[in-house]
């Protein structure tokens, strides 16, 4: 009987402690669940976007075939088709690289944020770091939206006849180059924002942890198109 009473007494003491621990962990658990739900939603959105892109690309290919039928020169038809395929491949290659770069930059920023939070828990003033991190988060979000928008673009060739074929193809290729160049400017700005957050952390008094290296985004090159 005494053993039972002792066990009950221990449980009575332990229960509030367990309850307190669960209460303290609740925000972290909620944040973890929210993050997982956000990832799932993002994957669903990406899947839908890819399906839409496949449909748009298929429609563009059919339209191109119909337009090329007006061009009697088979070699010109093949050349235009090859250029069209190359533009599609280039756009995919560069946007895929930028998505990968953004993922790495996001991971770097997560590490900066984690170290910043740890320093804050020790009483370190992280006001400047917090501001830099928030700015970098916004930059990554905006860059991600820009990359997704670029990845969804279909560069249709407005072919009318053989006389304007060269001009049409040249203008469309230049349009792709311009868009990729603009996207690269956004990527470089985003990289700078993440680097600023990491540098601000390193320069904060009483911060001695190693600052994570900022991974630069993939360089865009359109000279071969």
Nearest-CA neighbor of 161 among 80, 55, 64, 70?
70
pTM: 0.70
Shared domain for 111 and 90, answered yes or no, is: yes
Shared domain for 62 and 96, answered yes or no, is: no
The pLDDT assigned to 10 comes to 52
Please give the residue range of the domain that contains residue 60: 1-69
**How far is the CA of 181 from the CAs of 91, 103, 136, 177, 197, in angstroms?**
11, 20, 21, 6, 25
Nearest-CA neighbor of 82 among 96, 95, 68?
68
Q: How many CB atoms lie within 10 A of CB 71?
A: 16
pLDDT digit string (tens) for the chain, length 225 residues: 655 555 555 555 555 555 555 555 666 566 567 656 655 655 556 566 667 767 777 777 777 777 778 888 889 889 989 999 999 999 999 999 999 999 999 999 999 999 999 999 989 999 999 999 999 999 999 999 999 999 999 998 888 888 889 999 999 999 999 999 999 999 999 999 999 999 999 999 887 644 444 455 555 555 555
Q: How many folded domains does the chain comprise?
A: 2
Shared domain for 53 and 98, answered yes or no, is: no
- Say if residues 68 and 80 touch (Cβ distance below 8 Å): yes
Shared domain for 33 and 94, answered yes or no, is: no
The domain boundary, picked from 34, 69, 104, lies at 69
Shared domain for 122 and 38, answered yes or no, is: no
Shared domain for 170 and 206, answered yes or no, is: yes
The domain boundary, picked from 69, 90, 122, lies at 69
Shared domain for 78 and 64, answered yes or no, is: no
Shared domain for 107 and 192, answered yes or no, is: yes
The domain boundary, picked from 69, 91, 107, lies at 69
Shared domain for 11 and 88, answered yes or no, is: no
**How far is the CA of 59 from the CAs of 53, 63, 66, 79, 155, in angstroms?**
10, 6, 11, 20, 12
The pLDDT assigned to 50 comes to 66
Q: How many residues does the chain have?
A: 225
- Say if residues 217 and 191 touch (Cβ distance below 8 Å): yes
């Amino acid at each position: 009987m005494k053993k039972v009473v002792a066990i009950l007494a221990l449980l009575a003491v332990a229960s509030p402690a367990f309850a307190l621990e669960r209460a303290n962990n609740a925000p972290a658990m909620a944040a973890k669940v929210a993050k997982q739900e956000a990832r799932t939603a993002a994957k669903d959105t990406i899947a839908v976007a890819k399906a839409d892109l496949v449909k748009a690309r298929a429609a563009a290919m059919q339209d191109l075939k119909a337009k090329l039928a007006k061009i009697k020169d088979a070699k010109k038809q093949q050349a235009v088709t090859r250029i069209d395929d190359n533009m599609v491949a280039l756009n995919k290659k560069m946007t895929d690289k930028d998505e990968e770069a953004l993922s790495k930059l996001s991971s770097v920023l997560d590490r900066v944020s984690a170290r910043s939070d740890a320093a804050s828990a020790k009483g370190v003033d992280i006001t400047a770091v917090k501001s830099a991190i928030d700015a970098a988060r916004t930059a990554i979000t905006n860059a991600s939206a820009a990359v997704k928008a670029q990845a969804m673009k279909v560069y249709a060739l407005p072919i009318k006849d053989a006389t304007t074929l060269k001009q049409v193809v040249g203008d469309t290729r230049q349009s792709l180059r311009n868009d990729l160049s603009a996207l690269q400017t956004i990527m470089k700005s985003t990289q700078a924002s993440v680097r600023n957050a990491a540098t601000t952390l390193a320069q904060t008094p009483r911060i001695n942890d190693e600052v994570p290296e900022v991974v630069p985004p993939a360089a865009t090159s359109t000279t071969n198109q």
